[in-house]
Amino acid sequence: MKIGFIGGGAMAEAIVCGISSQPWIKPQDIYISDHKEKRCNYLHDKYNVNASVGAQSFIKSVDVVILAIKPQSAAKAIDEIKGLVKSDAIVISIIAGMLLTALEKAFPVNPVIRVMPNTPMAVGAGMSAIALGKKAEEVHGSIAEKIFSSAGRVIFVEEKLMDAVSGLSGSGPAFIFVLIDAMSDAGVKAGLKRNAAIQLAAQTVLGSAKMVLETGMHPAQLRDQVTSPGGTTIEGVHVMEQRGVRGAMIDAVTAAVEKSRAMGKK
């Protein structure tokens, strides 16, 4: 399998980082195109993959094309390659807000798949949602799953839910970083050194998330397990509820979802 990336930004690098360590693909079968030569040199040197300014050298031969470009640059980049992609190549888009109908119009003979990953893929802990286009069959979905599960977890959803995915898991890491930063600030205020406070806060978030995923228990059940009657935790939970932390998180995700919907209508 040969995989070609159109765009060599942070998300493309996160995916490359995940798949380049897998036994089913060799670094020399990974191709990246980016408009900055300095970026290409960096990706080549770090991952030993093929990286070039422009996709003309590989676009006709790759089996999977991953569109990893910013929404504002998407139309121009797609126009440059849409007539060059192999007819049986799988086209996977991680372009925020770009609908399958638009992608299928540009690549009418290809199986097209839309994926919403997130940045924790860079450390093997990503979350990706996959929506299949009309010509994409189970075998094509399996290939997409293989690529994105190399650096995290994968779920399949209907495309109509992709805006919800974008607002929750796509934007979600930023919301969690804000919480980790705030928690570490509280640790510093209580007397901890900054590095220790960040480590305590970040590992607490990591461990809590792992408990949710591995136990299958509802977060509220797990919260109750650590909330002793008359203890320190219920005092903190009480303040969070008073200050509207839960409502703020719901509003933040909802705002991100609505922004994704608005981008899709442009």
d(CA 49, CA 44): 5
- Residue 69, annotated as binding a ligand: yes
Residue 247 burial (CB < 10 Å; 0-12/13-18/19+)?
Answer: exposed
Residue 82 is labelled as binding a ligand: no
For residue 167, say whether it is annotated as part of any ligand binding site.
Answer: no
The answer to whether the annotation marks 18 as part of a ligand binding site is no
The number of C-alpha atoms within 13 Å of 179 and in the hemisphere containing its C-beta is 17
Question: 263: buried, middle or exposed (CB in 10 Å: 19+, 13-18, 0-12)?
Answer: middle
Task: Count CA atoms within 13 Å of residue 127 on its CB side.
Answer: 13
Confirm or deny that 71 is annotated as ligand binding.
Answer: yes
∠ CA 8-101-156, rounded to 5°: 70
Q: Which residues of 195-225 are buried (b: 16+ CB within 10 A; e: fewer)?
A: eebbeebbeeeeeeeeeeeeeeeeeeeeeee
33 is in an annotated binding site: yes
Q: Which residues are annotated as a binding site for NADP(+)?
A: 6-11, 33, 68-71
Q: Which residues are annotated as a binding site?
A: 6-11, 33, 68-71
